[in-house]
Amino acid sequence: MPRKVVRKERGVFEKEPGSDIWWIRFKADGVEHREKVGRRGDAIKLYKIRKADILRGVKMPANMKDKGVKFSVLAQEAIDWYINHERRDIRNFKGRMKFILETFADWVADEIKPSDIDGWISSHDWSPATKNRYKNVFGKTYKIALADGKVTSNPARLVEQRAENNARIRFLSEDEEKRLREAIKRRFPTHMPEFDVALHTGMRKSEQFSLEWPQVSLSRKRIRLERTKNGSDRDIPLNKTCQKVFEALHATRPHSGRIFLSRYGRDLNDPRAWFELALEEARVKNFRWHDLRHTFISRLIMKDVNLRTVQELAGHKTISMTTRYAHLAPEHNQAAIEKLTASMMSSADRPARSAGSRGAPGA
């Protein structure tokens, strides 16, 4: 059988004949570039991409001979940047990056296209907000690398932002709270203090589970939070329920380090595991830990606390964030509108005064 003749392709060659490792060769701005690719078919495709990029005026990376920097290198540099700049969201950034690296670690950073990022994000059943957070991780990583000259462009900039539904605010009804308390008391009694503190302070999860004793003043009935999510400090007053909870914890738990501990003495960075089981047993659906914060805020509004005070207690940077919760009390709003009806009916029932009954001017 005659040997198959391989048709010669322009710009594609084997550096070592017979190795089946293919390279590409092309010129950009008078400078010859060579890239090691691998399979012949991949080399042909990449050569066409490079030629198209040259025609479009795309700048070629300086390290073409090494095939470019891998995304894993950019990822580590981005994590280091977050640590060095003491960013508060480093934990979330690292967690999302770890998941991204499962797919993109060995990809050449300059060869990742917007469609690659968008397709990967779209393949996951996440909320629009979560998808945007992952897009932001890509974007920040490339932005840092671009400033260092490690890449020639930021493909994440061309990925469409998802429309987020910020109106999704879930809060706990009285009946749901009763069932949930019973489930926690039955299955996870040692975690009841965490639940009470979340429900009566409205702290964000990251704020609550990083809380240490020096931040709590039992004598002043205050919690002092520094550098919160919106970048400012704030004091949280303790009501009677929270005061009793912290007094009990202070009597039984170490007075150094984080306050909320597991039964094994390890930091409880996330209550998700036990909380989801309690929700399932209590038959409370479509509810997350963060919704305890929504419950705290909506209940303040239902108790006629003015919006400025609610804004301060919740730690919202702008009043517009607080007004999103105004619609969460339909029964309360209905009662308010009924007052208008009652007022109008009362006015209609009053006997009309005759013209002659009016007092003369100056009488």
Three-state secondary structure along 311-336?
Answer: HHHHCCCCHHHHHCCHHHCHHHHHHH
Average the pLDDT over 84-107 and give the result. 90
CATH of 71-158, one of 1.10.150, 1.10.1740, 1.10.3470, 3.90.470: 1.10.150
Q: What six digits make up the tokens of 202?
A: 């409205």
147 band by pLDDT with thresholds 50, 70 and 90: confident
Average the pLDDT over 307-325 and give the result. 88
pLDDT at 72: 94
Most confident of the ranges 24-33, 119-128, 226-235, 260-269: 119-128
pLDDT at 266: 44
**Would you say 208 and 197 are in contact if contact means Cβ atoms under 8 Å apart?**
yes
**Percent of the chain residues past pLDDT 70, beyond the cut:** 81
Does residue 52 have a pLDDT over 60? yes
Average the pLDDT over 233-253 and give the result. 92
| Phi, psi torsion values for 173, nearest 5 degrees | -80, 165
Sheet containing 22-28: order of strands: 12-14, 22-28, 31-38
Average pLDDT, the chain: 83
pLDDT at 346: 63
pLDDT at 361: 43
Q: Which residue has the tokens 């005064």?
A: 353
Does residue 39 have a pLDDT over 90? no
User: E-strand spans in the chain?
Assistant: 12-14, 22-28, 31-38, 216-217, 222-225, 234-237
Reference 36, options 8, 66, 10; nearest CA is 66
Domain boundaries, the chain: 12-66, 71-158, 174-330
pLDDT at 31: 79
Q: Give the pLDDT confidence of 275-288 residue by residue, as tens digits.
A: 999 999 999 999 99
Does residue 363 have a pLDDT over 50? no
End-to-end, the C-alpha distance of the chain in Å comes to 127
> Alpha-carbon distance 39 to 41, whole Å?
6
Domains 71-158 and 174-330 belong to one CATH topology: no
Can you name the residues that pair with 36 across neighbouring β-strands? 23
**Would you say 204 and 297 are in contact if contact means Cβ atoms under 8 Å apart?**
no
Could you tell me the CATH superfamily of domain 174-330? Intergrase catalytic core (1.10.443.10)
Handedness of CA 260, 263, 266, 269 (dihedral sign): negative
> Alpha-carbon distance 338 to 346, whole Å?
12
CA dist list (Å): 11 to 47, 58, 60: 7, 19, 16
> Alpha-carbon distance 160 to 313, whole Å?
35
Q: Give the pLDDT confidence of 172-228 residue by residue, as tens digits.
A: 999 999 999 999 999 999 999 999 999 999 999 888 988 999 999 999 999 998 876
pLDDT at 334: 67
